[in-house]
Structure 1
Amino acid sequence: MAPAITLAAEAPKLSAANTGFMLICSALVMLMTPGLAFFYGGMVRVKSTLNMLMMSFISLGIVTILWVLYGFSMAFGTDSGSLIGWNSDWVGLGNIGLTELWPGYTIPVFVFLVFQLMFAIITPALISGALADRVKFSAWALFIALWATVVYFPVAHWVWGAGGWAFELGVIDFAGGTAVHINAGAAALGVILVIGKRVGFKKDPMRPHSLPLVMLGAGLLWFGWFGFNAGSWLGNDDGVGALMFVNTQVATAAAMLAWLIYEKIRHGAFTTLGAASGAVAGLVAITPAGGAVTPLGAIAVGAIAGVLCAMAVGLKYKFGYDDSLDVVGVHLVGGVAGSLLIGLFASGKGQSTVEGLFYGGGLTQFWKQCAGVFAVLAYSLVVSAVLAFILDKTMGMRVPEDDEIAGIDQAEHAETAYDFSGAGGGAARTAAAAAAVGGAESKKVDA
């Protein structure tokens, strides 16, 4: 009998389908940053709308350039000490071949790096919601550059980079529960503890100026999040990305309903702001967990996160920290919940065979999740607070109190979100209407 012939496994080949799929997912994730800008922009008072939009949009510019220069190399280059990566060939992205594949996958390196770039962009933008009304735009821009360099790029390597300590430990983070949401939420808490409260916090009404804008932003986030989550499997060959897509929808729906039920019981009304916030809480929580749980598990993850986040947003009044738009309450708490619940609800039938406590796997994975969650939380909290302290003591982080009271839009951007001074509109229209009404009343009296 002739000896058996063993064939080497075929090397992956570029897949036009997966490449196109991932480019679409990258565009969807990019759309999330403008969506976030609208979501946050509608939640602030009218005098801060443009500043809130700009705090997200500027991240598109700054982080993109840093990613090309060195960020991609730091996050996904050759591991050094399980803490940071580096690949000199990726500095400036000039030595990457057009058809060079990301190791083990069927998509080009350029496709992988642009997908991950969109994650790097939105993460510091998430922080901005906690700092509404009171931060110098120049200081914020510099903070983004420093924070991305010393916090986001290293943490992304820990969680997703080959050789990163969390990656090697087996911490499950499908699309960014630790690297994105806990990272941003902890950073927000660190910064607001340094820069302090808004003028009038807990005294003046600080209601959202445009709830339709909030709902538009939430809808864009929900839409873009399908690319954020399903795309994180880097292909569409084995059904895991489809599972993540389904779980993203399911958990978001469950969280929105859970938040609304909680606030109806607690406050007596179903609010549009609650619906939007609940949806985002569900999106945050399912981000790390969606590839590991079943759709029923996704309902549980979403519902638990919806209630926990609804409860958490009120803690700022109890403890006195001014988290303007509830970044800590939604992103930090939601990210922690979703990450830890993997240790309970992982089914072993999704992205891996890892099983959680409720599926007979014990608490092994839960403790791994704890290690990832609390390490990222502590690192981001401390380093972000230090960066904010340094910037505050050098260039100053906050605008002058008079500018904050008058409106940060005019002070920092020399613009206002809404111009009612045009002929025939706004104040002129109101004055004309008042005059017309007054004239009519005068005629009635004369008659």
Structure 2
Amino acid sequence: MAPAITLAAEAPKLSAANTGFMLICSALVMLMTPGLAFFYGGMVRVKSTLNMLMMSFISLGIVTILWVLYGFSMAFGTDSGSLIGWNSDWVGLGNIGLTELWPGYTIPVFVFLVFQLMFAIITPALISGALADRVKFSAWVLFIALWATVVYFPVAHWVWGAGGWAFEMGVIDFAGGTAVHINAGAAALGVILVIGKRVGFKKDPMRPHSLPLVMLGAGLLWFGWFGFNAGSWLGNDDGVGALMFVNTQVATAAAMLAWLIYEKIRHGAFTTLGAASGAVAGLVAITPAGGAVTPLGAIAVGAIAGVLCAMAVGLKYKFGYDDSLDVVGVHLVGGVAGSLLIGLFASGKGQSTVEGLFYGGGLTQFWKQCAGVFAVLAYSLIVSAILAFILDKTMGMRVPEDDEIAGIDQAEHAETAYDFSGAGGGSARTAAAAAAVGGAESKKVDA
């Protein structure tokens, strides 16, 4: 009898379908940063609108350059001590072949790196919402560069890089609940504890100046999030990406409804801001969990996160920290909730066979999730606070109090978001001018 012949597994081949899908997903994730800018921009007062837009938008420039120079290598290069990666051939991205595939997948390295770049861009932009009205733009630019280097790139390696300690432990983070949202939310808390409150916090009204902008931003975020989440499977040959797409929609809907119900019971109204905030809370919570739960589990994750985040946004008034646009309440709390709920609702039928407590798997995965969540939270909070402290003591993080009161847009950008001088239209301006001239002539006669 002839000896059995063992055939080697066929090496992955480039898939045009998966490559095209991932490029579209990358573009969708890129759109999320301008969407975030509109979401945050509408939530601040008129005098801070442009600054808020720019604090998100500038991340597109800074992080892109850092990613090309060394960020991709630090996040996804060869592991060193389970803490950081490095690959000198990736520095500057000049030694990567155009058709070189990402190991184990059917997409080029360039496609993987540009998809991950968009995650790296939006994560520091998320922090900016907590710092509205009071941070020097120059200090913010330097903070982004430093924070991406010493916090985001290492944490991305821990969670997603081959050899990273959280990755090897089996911590599940499908698309960024830990690496993106907990990371950004904890950083926001660390910075605001250093720089302090806005002038007039808890005294002056600080209502959103444009709820339509908020809703536009939330809609763009929801739209782009399908690329953020479904694309994180790096293809859809086995249906997991499609499951994530469905769960993204389902959890977001559940969280929005849960937030509104809580708001109606607690405050007596269904608000537009509550609808937008609830949707974002659901998007945040399902990001780590969506590949591990069923659609019914996604409803549970979304509803729980919607209520928890709605409750959490009021903590800043109780504890006295000025989280301007509720980054801590939505992104930190939502990220923690979504990550930990994997340990309860993982079905074993999605991205892996891991089962949570409610599916007979015990608490093993829950404790793994706790390790990942609280390690990233502590590291990001402490290091971010240290960075803010150093910048504050050297160049100063805050604008002068007079500039904050008058408006940071004019002080930092020499612009305003809206030109009200011509709001009345041509005929109105002509009539106003004629009246002014008539008044001046009358004064001359009286004199």
Report the TM range for the smaller structure's normalisation: over 0.9
Deviation at 1:443, TM superposition (A): 23
Contact persistence 1:186–1:332 (CA under 8 A): yes
For residues 154 and 426 of structure 1, the distance between their equivalents in structure 2, rounded to whole angstroms, comes to 57
- Compared CA separation, residues 263 and 105, structure 1 to 2 (3 A): same
Q: Deviations over 1:306-334 (max 9, x none)?
A: 00000000000000000000000000000
For residues 433 and 182 of structure 1, the distance between their equivalents in structure 2, rounded to whole angstroms, comes to 55
Deviation at 1:236, TM superposition (A): 1.1
- Compared CA separation, residues 446 and 293, structure 1 to 2 (3 A): farther
- Compared CA separation, residues 142 and 430, structure 1 to 2 (3 A): farther
Contact persistence 2:422–2:429 (CA under 8 A): no
Q: Deviations over 1:204-243 (max 9, x none)?
A: 0000000000000000000000000000000010000000
Deviation at 1:428, TM superposition (A): 5.9
For residues 111 and 202 of structure 2, the distance between their equivalents in structure 1, rounded to whole angstroms, comes to 46
Deviation at 1:431, TM superposition (A): 7.6
- Compared CA separation, residues 403 and 441, structure 1 to 2 (3 A): closer
SS of match in other structure, 1:419:
coil
For residues 303 and 395 of structure 1, the distance between their equivalents in structure 2, rounded to whole angstroms, comes to 43
Contact persistence 1:73–1:85 (CA under 8 A): yes
For residues 399 and 393 of structure 1, the distance between their equivalents in structure 2, rounded to whole angstroms, comes to 13
Q: Deviations over 1:150-202 (max 9, x none)?
A: 00000000000000000000000000000000000000000000000000000
SS of match in other structure, 1:354:
coil
Deviation at 1:421, TM superposition (A): 1.6
- Compared CA separation, residues 394 and 35, structure 1 to 2 (3 A): same
TM-score by length of 1: 0.96
Deviation at 1:117, TM superposition (A): 0.1
- Compared CA separation, residues 434 and 88, structure 1 to 2 (3 A): same
- Compared CA separation, residues 291 and 432, structure 1 to 2 (3 A): same
Of the structure 1 ranges 318-327 and 4-13, higher mean CA displacement relative to structure 2 is found in 4-13
Deviation at 1:434, TM superposition (A): 12
Q: Deviations over 1:9-46 (max 9, x none)?
A: 11000000000000000000000000000000000000
Contact persistence 1:40–1:129 (CA under 8 A): yes
Contact persistence 2:284–2:331 (CA under 8 A): yes
For residues 40 and 186 of structure 1, the distance between their equivalents in structure 2, rounded to whole angstroms, comes to 18
Deviation at 1:98, TM superposition (A): 0.2
Contact persistence 1:421–1:427 (CA under 8 A): no
SS of match in other structure, 1:85:
strand
Deviation at 1:7, TM superposition (A): 1.1
Contact persistence 1:420–1:426 (CA under 8 A): no
- Compared CA separation, residues 433 and 232, structure 1 to 2 (3 A): farther
SS of match in other structure, 1:162:
coil
Q: Deviations over 1:348-383 (max 9, x none)?
A: 000000000000000000000000000000000000
- Compared CA separation, residues 121 and 424, structure 1 to 2 (3 A): same
Contact persistence 2:25–2:231 (CA under 8 A): yes
What CA RMSD, in Å, does the superposition of the two structures yield over aligned residues?
3.5
Contact persistence 2:356–2:363 (CA under 8 A): yes
- Compared CA separation, residues 29 and 334, structure 1 to 2 (3 A): same
Q: Say whether residues 1:298 and 2:307 are aligned partners.
A: no
Aligned length: 447
Q: Where do residues 223-242 of structure 1 align in structure 2 (5 Å cutoff)?
A: 223-242=223-242
Q: Say whether residues 1:412 and 2:412 are aligned partners.
A: yes
SS of match in other structure, 1:79:
strand
For residues 431 and 225 of structure 2, the distance between their equivalents in structure 1, rounded to whole angstroms, comes to 45
For residues 412 and 431 of structure 1, the distance between their equivalents in structure 2, rounded to whole angstroms, comes to 35
Percent identity over the alignment is 99
Deviation at 1:425, TM superposition (A): 3.6
Deviation at 1:420, TM superposition (A): 1.6
Contact persistence 2:178–2:336 (CA under 8 A): yes
Q: Deviations over 1:265-290 (max 9, x none)?
A: 00000000000000000000000000
- Compared CA separation, residues 311 and 445, structure 1 to 2 (3 A): farther
For residues 5 and 222 of structure 2, the distance between their equivalents in structure 1, rounded to whole angstroms, comes to 51
Contact persistence 1:343–1:355 (CA under 8 A): yes
Contact persistence 1:285–1:339 (CA under 8 A): yes
Deviation at 1:437, TM superposition (A): 18
Deviation at 1:3, TM superposition (A): 2.5
- Compared CA separation, residues 150 and 426, structure 1 to 2 (3 A): farther
Contact persistence 1:68–1:93 (CA under 8 A): yes
Contact persistence 1:347–1:356 (CA under 8 A): yes
For residues 446 and 74 of structure 2, the distance between their equivalents in structure 1, rounded to whole angstroms, comes to 81
- Compared CA separation, residues 291 and 426, structure 1 to 2 (3 A): farther
- Compared CA separation, residues 92 and 427, structure 1 to 2 (3 A): farther
For residues 438 and 219 of structure 1, the distance between their equivalents in structure 2, rounded to whole angstroms, comes to 50
Deviation at 1:402, TM superposition (A): 0.2
Contact persistence 1:421–1:428 (CA under 8 A): no
Deviation at 1:6, TM superposition (A): 1.6
Q: Deviations over 1:111-152 (max 9, x none)?
A: 000000000000000000000000000000000000000000
For residues 415 and 440 of structure 2, the distance between their equivalents in structure 1, rounded to whole angstroms, comes to 37
For residues 191 and 401 of structure 2, the distance between their equivalents in structure 1, rounded to whole angstroms, comes to 18
For residues 136 and 22 of structure 2, the distance between their equivalents in structure 1, rounded to whole angstroms, comes to 36
- Compared CA separation, residues 257 and 428, structure 1 to 2 (3 A): same
For residues 430 and 108 of structure 1, the distance between their equivalents in structure 2, rounded to whole angstroms, comes to 62
Contact persistence 1:420–1:427 (CA under 8 A): no
Deviation at 1:442, TM superposition (A): 17
SS of match in other structure, 2:181:
helix
- Compared CA separation, residues 427 and 115, structure 1 to 2 (3 A): farther
SS of match in other structure, 1:416:
coil
Please, which runs of 5 or more residues in structure 1 have no aligned partner?
A: none
Q: Deviations over 1:383-433 (max 9, x none)?
A: 000000000000000000000000000000000000122385499659849
SS of match in other structure, 1:134:
coil
Deviation at 1:2, TM superposition (A): 2.7
Deviation at 1:4, TM superposition (A): 2.4
